[in-house]
Each structure stands twice: as C-alpha cells, then as structure tokens.
Amino acid sequence: MAFTPHTDNDIVQMLKVIGANSIDDLFKEIPAEVRNKKDLKLEAPLSESEVLRELQRLANRNATPETHRSFLGGGTYNHFIPAVVDFLTSRSEFATAYTPYQSEISQGTLQAIFEFQTLICQITGMEAANASMYDGASACAEAALMAARLTRRKKILTSRALHPEYRETLATYCRFLEMELIDLSFNKNGETSLEDLQAHLDDQTAGVILGYPNFFGVIENIAPLAPLVHDQGAKLVVAVQEAASLGLIKAPGALGADIVIGEGQSFGIPPAFGGPHAGFFAVRQKDVRSIPGRLVGETVDQEGKRGYVLTLSTREQHIRREKATSNICSNHGLCALRATVYLSLLGKDGLRTVAVQNHSKAEYAKQQISAVDGFTLPFSAPTFNEFVIEAKEPVEQVMARLESNGILGGIPLQTFYPEMENHFLVCVTEQNSREDIDILVQTLGTSRT
Amino acid sequence: MNEIGTRGLALNEKLIFEHSRTGRRGFSLPELDVPEASLPGELTRDEMDGLPEVSEVEVVRHFTRLSSWNYGVDSGFYPLGSCTMKYNPKVNETAAQKAGLALIHPYTPAALSQGAMEIIYKLEQMLGEISGFPAITVHPAAGAHGELTGMMVIRAFHEKQGNPRRKVLIPDTAHGTNPASAVLCGYEVVSISSDGYLAAEEVAAHMDDEVAALMITNPNTLGLFEKEIVEICAAVHAKGGLVYCDGANMNALLGVCKPADLGIDVMHFNLHKTFSTPHGGGGPGAGPVGVTKELEPFLPHPRIQLKKDHYAWDVNRPDAIGRLRAFHGNFGILVRAYTYIRMLGADGLRRTSEMAVLNANYIRARLEPHYHLPYKQRSLHEVVFSEQNLKGGCHTMDAAKRLIDYGFHPPTVYFPLVVKGAIMIEPTETETRESIDEFCDAMIQIAKESEENPALLKMAPVKTRTRRMDEALAARKPKLRWVKEEKKN
C-alpha cells in the first residue's frame, strides 16, 4: 500500500494543468541511460495486518524485561515509564511537527523545550542547557570540542572509567582535528586516578572528562578535582550516563563542573536497542554563545504576550555554515519531550524516591552477591545503581547459566577492558523486585554440574 | 474561496513550574522491598530546587494545551521544501511500540536479539537496493550526523591512500550542514557557484590533487535534477576525488534512478524525510549512509553480518572510522522505516516519487502566473519561487505568515540562498488534489492581497494565539530557563 490518494482521474486532470503528456514526461530531465531499467528487487508489499504480524515475529525473537529478569545497564536503563508519557508524546501535534521555525504555530514545542532546558539546569545545577543532542556519547564529543573552543587548546584528558562507547565516539570526532587525547587510569577503588590526573594536567589542557557515575557505577569524588583543573585554565566536563542518579548524588554544577553532558534515556525513554535517546548539554551562562545545538529563549510577541523562539542561532550551521559551533541541525525533540513529561510527573520527590530505590536495591544485590562463594567486588568506592563483580569461573559460563534460567545477568567487561577478565557489570533498578535479586543471587551460587 | 484557517478557543497555559504546589504528586511507585541504603553525606545532594510538584491531571492538561498550539502534518498541509513533510503512517508507531522492539537493551547478547538484528540487516539491504550502494550503515542519528559519518569515511579512505587531501568543493545551493560537516573532518571548504545546475566544466576547473570530495545534493535544493551529474562525477574521479551526495531529496528518485549508478560514492538518507518517520518537532530521525564497495571497510562500528543461520556482530574491522554515537543507531526509527518500506514494496515506492513529482509540478503550474519562478527548467519534487512579484513592500516572510492565517504551514523560506526571498514548496505525495488546490488558492489570494491590502500580510498572523515574536529581544537578553522569583520583602 502506498499512502497516495490520487484517483486516475485526478492524475489525468493534474497532468493537463501541468501541460505534460504522462507521468514519465515529468522525469525527462533525468538522462535515460541512468534511469532504472528494472523494478526494485524488494519483497512484495504487505497489508497493515501482515506487516504487524511480521514485526511481531521479529519482536518475539528478542529478550526484554518482559521475557527475562534483566540486570543490564551500562548507559541504557530499565526504568518504569508512566502511561502518561506515552500518551502525551504520541499526540501528533507534537510528533508530526517539524523544527519550530514558525514560532506562531510552534509554541507547544517551543515552550516544552524551554521547560526541558530548565529541568536540565535544575538537575545538573547548571545555568543554561540546550534543546538536546543525539545522545550522551555524541554530546560528550561535542563537549570536548567546546572545551577546545573556549580554551583555544587541543589536549583532552579522559578518564578510562568513562563509558567506553563515549570514549570511542570522542576519539572519532577528534580524529581529524589535530586534538590530543590522553587516557587517565582508574585506581583500585574504581575511581579516576588523582595521581594520573595531576601527572598529565597542565596549561595546555583544554578539558578533563569524567563519568559521574562512571561506567563502573562509581560515584567519582569530583569536588577536590575541580580546583586542580581550573588552576590550569582547563574546563571540567562531567558526563552523566545514568541521569536517574541525579535525584540522589550532588549536582555536578555544585561541584565545579564547567560543562555537564549526559544521557536522558532514564527519564521516560524506552531502551529501544540503544536509540533514539536524548543527550543533554548544560553550561555556565557566560559560555552559552559557544554551545552546540538549538536553544529556545523567552521573549514577547507584538502584543506583549509571553512566548518562545529559537534563539542565538548565529552559532548554527544554517547561518554560519563552515564557522558554526557544530554541524548538528536538529535535536532529539520528541525524546526530550518524553523527559520533560517524565520529570514533570515525578517532580522533586519522585526523582529522589526513584534514585533511593535504585541505590538501595543495588546495595542489597551487591551485598548478597558478594556473599556468594566465587564472586567478589573488585572496587570499594560508593556506587549508585550498578557495580562490578569478579567471578572465579569464566564469565561466559556464568552468563550462560543465568540465561538458561531466564536471567540477563550483566555486561561482561573484558570486551571494553582487556585486563578485566571474568568481570561483569550488574545493574539494579526500581523495576527489579527483591525476588528478582534473590533469584539472581541463588542462580549465581548454583554449583556447576 | 473555502478558507480552512479560522478562529478557535485557544487556552492559555502557564509554565509547568508555575503550577507547582508543595506536596502535590503525579507518580506512584511500589514500596521499597529491601532495606533503605544511604550514601556518605558528602556525596548526597540536598533537596532539588525548582523541580515542579504537580498532579497527574495537571501534567496531562498542561501538555495537551501546549500541543494545541502546534501545527503538525496531522493538522494540515505542511509544504516545507527540503523537509519532505509526508504523512507518517500510524502503523509505524504501533510497530515500534511492540515490547520486543521498544524494551530490548542494546547489550542483550546477540543470540537473544536476533529479531532486532534482522531488522537492521534487512533495512540495510533494502536501502542498498533502492540506492544502488553495496554497503549501508544505519549508525548515524540524523542527516547531518550521516554527512559527518560519510565525510569521515572519505577522509579515512584518502588517508589510507597516503594523502588525506585538503579541500572539499560545495555548491552555493547546499544545505549549511554540508560545509559544517566538512570542517569537522579537518577540510577547507571551497564554495563553487552554480546557475540552477552545477556545470561539469565548473567542477573540473576546481579539481586538483588536493580536493578530497565534492558534496552535492541531487536533485538539488532548487528541485532540479543535476543533468550533468555523470560528467561531474567523472571529473571528480579523474583527479582521485570522491563524490558525496546529500540524500535529502531522495523522495524524487525512489525506483526511478539509483544514486550509485550516477557515479556517487557516498550518500546519506533521511529516514524522517523519505521513509515517513515522524519529525518529532525536530527529531529524532535517522541518517543511514550508503557507500561503494571500496569504502565499506571504513564504515563505523558496529556492523552486522549474516552467518549461515544467524546474525552476528562483525568486530574485526581494522579500518573502521570508529563510532559516532553509543549503541546501534536510532533503532526505534529504523523499525518505523522498515515497516514503511515493507508496506510499500517496489511499486509503492515508485508511485511515491511519481506522485510527489506530480504534485510539485501541479503547484508550479498553478502558481507560476502569480509568483516569480527564477529557474524555469523542469523541476522534480519541489519548486522554488522568489518574492519578486509580491507588491506593497511585502516580503517572503509576510506571505509566509499570512499563509498561517489561511490554515497552512508555510513553505521553507529564504532558502536556498541563491534565490532572493526564496519560497521553497515541497508538497509530497500524500496530499489530495483538494488540499493542494486550497493551498494554491490561498497563495494566489495572498499575491493579490499584497497589491490591494499589504497590511493583511504585514500584520499576519492574526488568528494564532500569539503574534509575531520579538526575536531581537530573545537574542539580546537571552532567557533560556525559568527561575523562581525571589520573594519580595
């Protein structure tokens, strides 16, 4: 089925108005020798009911929290999404609109983005935030470029405990820009090494990037690092891969961060195999003219009525072309709207409650697992809702045992960190009941047969 | 004429923060079933300042009211040129919301995510067949992200050959993202002029051993098929350069011609334009990239392989440029595009382009007597007029705002830059003849009004809840967030 409404008669009448003899006539500017000689080789078209059956068949081949007890985190989290979020963000006035360039008929999108920007400032403790980025990883790369712009320096120090896919994205973005990227090691507690930071930090450093919480779930102790970074005139970039943590841990803005970026997926956005999610990007007010991406600002209309517009667009590619702060020309608007609705529903109590539940359940799981023979906690620093476990037996064997019992037990870490043989990352959210955790613990402890 | 724009009761609505009352709640969670834990005091934040405390009903009314201030494709005709605002089939949404697709975690083991991997693999195959490119990646999150990916692939290829080269040629009609993406790959941008079409001679004159690539849009942003494209590609290739195509206008070519057959080396798709995924008020979309066989090794991670009877992640790709985002692409968007292509099939895709081109040419025929058409050649899926024929000191923006009063979303305005006061109209294939006629009637009426009563244009819009905004004020004194007002003593 094609979604084209014309009748044969419509087509005849329209061709007559155009003065063309046939549809083919309309394509005559395309040289005949490059036109398709054959029909496209695609499977036969499906009706609506058939295509939904096909998608259901494919959906059934995937494991999710509805089919398995899941303890997967690592940058995408299994949080509860209230019905209101799906309901409101499905409204097609939001979903089928374009970028709000015509402000008079886009005030809904514009005000919602203004609220999103405000909410991001509130949870990060920062002064200005943009309308969202593609995801946490690309926001992290853009933050490094912004630090380089602000300082006119090219050296970026990145914690090895920052999400490995954020680090890889950063490396790709910087690859052709003559930037220097230096890895900072992590210590035996799972925190970024202060000694290593001091060894590499100098007056050529543009920025220092830390995960908070980091990839191991560890809540980095940022406060003492910030003055060291600032003394060298560098920017402290804090990357939040699990935004739900901000209900409980100190706001990065209060700890001296210059740029706070992160992933908003935890705020009402489904995991969807990793996307689309919503990156956020927050800065100090004084740096706002160097921020990448869209910004919405408050103003008034001709009659003095409060309203919102896209603003400070002289930073952007459609005006500045090759001199723009970034090549980004969109945001993840509908995902940012999901986060806005979610945070509005939860409010300050709800966000705190979710964070406390995540932390408490993860602490319970951590204690229970570390009491099982053959499983230990390699790191000692405080964590939020995920933590690293080291197994005495091969991690593949552990995962296989869990999977055969309907459990997605965690993320093996050796792929990302070659030295972390038989380590895996376990995540516990408010969606995991005590029973889920007990069954995980019990299954881990089942002796091999 | 039958006017669809009319008055309606529009409700005012405060910011969500201004509804906040201490103690109101809009959520429920199960009781905590483990002992409550706490963090060391120095890591714990105090109460979060500012976050709203509102009830569920207030949240629902708030966002419902906001939505009523928006205009979407589902509200009416939305002829934004270059944006392809076609109807977004609802079945796409139902498909993407299936639990097995919406709730799958990106680190689920491959053996337990075969359905998701099959969708990605097959979508790549289908986009490859449509475009003629042997390798596709669905990794990029948006069109501009796809451009960046494609240009990095080009740079990595040249580096492997021994010289990354210095320059990228970009015609003056190009989208602003083209030069911005080239610069992020460390290239210097050389702008080349075109007169409706890009001449192969002009390209050849700029080609040398330091040109890495030409970035072209085809059909270009004037809606014209680059008729010398084959010669252009040959001229670039003759000096060892590569041709990048911005696929924003692919809606004109489905089943008609394959960009790879024209000599193009790299192209990005916009699934949110050509393949009907919703624009979402500015995203998320997806920007897959197709490349020739020799460029395939440079595509970003991750890649999926079809083994005998299952799909696997291909991890051994030493020349890959790396990744430009986390995880496997905007999978939720890929599901929607997959659903769309499976419903249309080859015939439906071809008909899509045919009807899109028919509609654009019909609008052109109806408006040409009333609006100045700077480029007369046969156009494809969109048509660009200028403001030249507007009278009474009225400009393109005035006509655009007046269209809002008539109940339409305005076309793209002031782009491409080569046309003074450009009015760029792309109707897409999903509109009825009646809705197109209503739009054309309004456009003709507006041209007449500019002569008889230009104030109608200059004051417009008058039927919207808010009038034209003071954009200068917003930029001069940026207010980018709500701040709680201090209590006055």
B404 touches chain A (CB under 8 A): yes
| Structure-derived torsion over alpha carbons of residues B63, B69, B70, B76, reported in degrees to the nearest 10 | 130
Do B254 and B382 belong together in one domain? no
Q: For position B488, what pLDDT does the model report?
A: 53
Do B185 and B326 belong together in one domain? yes
Distance of residue B488 Cα from the nearest chain A Cα, in angstroms: 22
Give the pLDDT confidence of A307-361 residue by residue, as tens digits.
Answer: 999 999 888 888 888 888 888 989 999 999 999 999 999 999 999 999 999 999 9
Q: For position B333, what pLDDT does the model report?
A: 98
The CATH number covering residue B380 comes to 3.90.1150.10
Query: B2: Cβ–Cβ under 8 A, 6 or more apart, which residues?
Result: B438, B441
Do B410 and B333 belong together in one domain? no
pLDDT band at B3 (very low <50, low <70, confident <90, very high): confident
Interface-testing mutation among B18, B36, B42, B103, with chain A (most A C-beta atoms within 10 A)? B103
3-state secondary structure of A133: strand
Give the pLDDT confidence of B256-290 residue by residue, as tens digits.
Answer: 999 999 999 999 999 999 999 999 999 999 999 99
Q: What is the mean pLDDT of residues A66-95?
A: 98
Q: For position B487, what pLDDT does the model report?
A: 59
Query: A136: Cβ–Cβ under 8 A, 6 or more apart, which residues?
Result: A75, A163, A166, A239, A240, A241, A261, A262, A263, A265, A277, A279, B326
Q: For position B320, what pLDDT does the model report?
A: 98
State how far the Cα of A3 lies from the Cα of B89, in Å rounded to an integer.
8
Give the pLDDT confidence of B181-198 residue by residue, as tens digits.
Answer: 999 999 999 999 998 899
Q: For position B484, what pLDDT does the model report?
A: 87
Q: What is the mean pLDDT of residues A60-87?
A: 98
Q: Which residue of chain A has the CA closest to B191?
A: A322
Residue B120 pLDDT exceeds 80: yes
Q: For position A320, what pLDDT does the model report?
A: 82
Q: What is the mean pLDDT of residues B282-309?
A: 96
State how far the Cα of A135 lies from the Cα of A146, in Å rounded to an integer.
16
Is B487 a member of any domain? no
Give the pLDDT confidence of B166-184 residue by residue, as tens digits.
Answer: 999 999 889 889 999 999 9
Q: What is the mean pLDDT of residues B154-169?
A: 98
Do B318 and B387 belong together in one domain? no
Q: Are B233 and B262 in contact (CB under 8 A)?
A: yes
Per-residue tokens: A414: 């050796």
Do B284 and B191 belong together in one domain? yes
Is B76 a member of any domain? no
Nearest Cα to Cα of residue B260 among B129, B123, B126, B121: B129
Q: What is the mean pLDDT of residues A400-420?
A: 97
Do B306 and B362 belong together in one domain? no
Architecture in CATH of A69-81+347-445:
Alpha-Beta Complex (3.90)
Q: Are B325 and A140 in contact (CB under 8 A)?
A: no
Q: Which residues pair with A157 in a beta bridge?
A: A182, A208
Q: What is the mean pLDDT of residues B358-368?
A: 98
Q: What is the mean pLDDT of residues A61-87?
A: 98
> What does each C-alpha distance from A331 to A130, B143, B223, B279, B355 come to in angstroms?
9, 11, 26, 10, 30
Query: A106: Cβ–Cβ under 8 A, 6 or more apart, which residues?
Result: A97, A100, B69, B70, B71, B281
Give the pLDDT confidence of A11-43 residue by residue, as tens digits.
Answer: 999 999 999 999 999 999 999 999 999 999 999
Q: For position B6, what pLDDT does the model report?
A: 86
Cβ contacts of B143 on chain A, cutoff 8 Å: 329-330
Distance of residue B245 Cα from the nearest chain A Cα, in angstroms: 16
Residue keyed to tokens 């050296």:
A155
Is B356 a member of any domain? yes
Distance of residue A333 Cα from the nearest chain B Cα, in angstroms: 5
Q: How high is the mean pLDDT of chain B?
A: 96
Q: Of B312, B342, B372, at which residue does a domain stop? A: B342
Share of chain A above pLDDT 70, in %: 99
Do B316 and B383 belong together in one domain? no
Do B330 and B353 belong together in one domain? no
**Residue B154 domain boundaries:** 92-342
pLDDT band at B142 (very low <50, low <70, confident <90, very high): very high
Is B318 a member of any domain? yes
Share of chain B above pLDDT 90, in %: 93
State how far the Cα of B96 lies from the Cα of B119, in Å rounded to an integer.
11
Do B315 and B385 belong together in one domain? no
State how far the Cα of B426 lies from the Cα of B411, in Å rounded to an integer.
7
Q: For position B281, what pLDDT does the model report?
A: 96
Contact B72 A171 (CB under 8 A): no
User: Which among B48, B255, B351 has CB closest to A348?
Assistant: B48
Q: What is the mean pLDDT of residues A109-125?
A: 98
Is B184 a member of any domain? yes
Segments making up each domain of chain A, as ranges: 69-81+347-445, 83-342
ipTM for this model: 0.98
Residue B30 exposed, middle or buried by CB count within 10 Å (0-12, 13-18, 19+): exposed
- Is the CATH number 3.40.50.300 carried by domain A83-342? no
Distance of residue B412 Cα from the nearest chain A Cα, in angstroms: 9
* Domain total in chain B: 2
Residue B1 pLDDT exceeds 80: no
State how far the Cα of A301 lies from the Cα of A307, in Å rounded to an integer.
6
State how far the Cα of A41 lies from the Cα of A208, in Å rounded to an integer.
51
Q: For position B486, what pLDDT does the model report?
A: 67
User: Which among A67, A263, A411 has CB closest to B107?
Assistant: A411
The CATH number covering residue B207 comes to 3.40.640.10
Distance of residue A203 Cα from the nearest chain B Cα, in angstroms: 24
DSSP string covering A22-56: STGGGGTTS-GGGB-SS----PPP--HHHHHHHHH
Q: Are B211 and B168 in contact (CB under 8 A)?
A: yes
Is B54 a member of any domain? no
Residue B489 pLDDT exceeds 80: no
Do B283 and B429 belong together in one domain? no
User: Which among B29, B359, B481 has CB closest to A117?
Assistant: B481
Give the pLDDT confidence of A381-391 residue by residue, as tens digits.
Answer: 999 999 999 99
Q: What is the mean pLDDT of residues B379-401?
A: 97
Do B286 and B300 belong together in one domain? yes
User: Which among B54, B66, B330 has CB closest to A108?
Assistant: B66
Q: Of B342, B369, B390, at which residue does a domain stop? A: B342
Do B393 and B246 belong together in one domain? no
Q: For position A449, what pLDDT does the model report?
A: 43
Query: pLDDT: is A448 or A206 the higher one?
Result: A206
3-state secondary structure of A367: helix
Q: Which residues pair with A426 in a beta bridge?
A: A387
Phi/psi-derived region of residue B34, left when phi > 0, alpha when psi is between -120 and 50, beta in every other case = beta
Q: Which residue of chain B has the CA closest to A269?
A: B102
State how far the Cα of B394 lies from the Cα of B106, in Å rounded to an integer.
53
Query: B141: Cβ–Cβ under 8 A, 6 or more apart, which residues?
Result: A134, A135, A138, A275, A276, A332, B283, B284, B285, B286, B287, B325, B329, B330
Residue A254 exposed, middle or buried by CB count within 10 Å (0-12, 13-18, 19+): middle
